[in-house]
């Protein structure tokens, strides 16, 4: 299975999808539903979502652990922060941790594409 390429110029449908995701997270405060929708859209398994960071991680707002397929969010407040959640979802989508510089840049661009105002 090949993963969809990141698009910097989304179509109207994608724009509506992105708006819906942001709304689910920040306004409706349903981050798990947002993850389910994201996973369906990109045709990947849904990641698990936990509050708190795994052992050894102290500073991150969130992190993704590949072997557990789990997104960790440092505390409740960031659970409703679309940037943090979508950024970590990108790591799940690409199945990689956040140590690589290029990956971090792409995760950032991916998350920002959802938050860009029209
Ligand atoms: Zn990251």
Return residues with CB closer than 5 A to ligand 1 (ion).
98, 107
Let me know if residue 46 belongs to a domain: yes
d(CA 91, CA 104) in angstroms, rounded, equals 9
Let me know if residue 6 belongs to a domain: no
Span from the CA of 98 to the centroid of ligand 1 (angstroms): 4
Let me know if residue 106 belongs to a domain: yes
Which pTM does this prediction carry? 0.86
What integer pLDDT is reported at residue 99 of this predicted model?
60
How many domains does one find in the chain?
A: 1
The CATH number of residue 84's host domain is 3.30.2010
What integer pLDDT is reported at residue 1 of this predicted model?
44
Q: List Cβ<8 Å contacts ≥24 apart for 87-91.
A: 87/62, 87/111, 88/62, 88/63, 88/64, 89/35, 89/38, 89/47, 91/64, 91/66
Span from the CA of 56 to the centroid of ligand 1 (angstroms): 16
- Give me the domain span that covers residue 108: 12-115
One digit per residue, the tens of pLDDT, for the chain of length 118 reads 445 555 556 777 899 999 999 999 999 999 999 999 999 999 999 999 999 998 888 888 999 998 899 999 999 999 999 999 999 999 999 875 556 667 889 999 999 999 986 6
């Amino acid at each position: 299975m090949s993963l969809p390429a990141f698009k910097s110029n989304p179509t109207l449908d994608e724009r509506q999808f992105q708006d819906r995701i942001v709304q689910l997270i920040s306004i409706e405060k349903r981050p798990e539903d947002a993850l389910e929708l994201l996973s369906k859209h990109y045709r990947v398994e849904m990641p698990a979502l936990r509050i708190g960071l795994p052992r050894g991680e102290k500073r991150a707002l969130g992190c993704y652990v590949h072997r557990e397929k789990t997104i960790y969010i440092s505390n409740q407040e960031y659970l409703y922060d679309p940037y943090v959640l979508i950024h970590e979802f990108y790591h799940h989508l690409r199945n990689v941790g956040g140590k690589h510089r290029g990956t971090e840049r792409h995760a950032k661009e991916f998350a920002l594409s959802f938050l860009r105002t029209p």
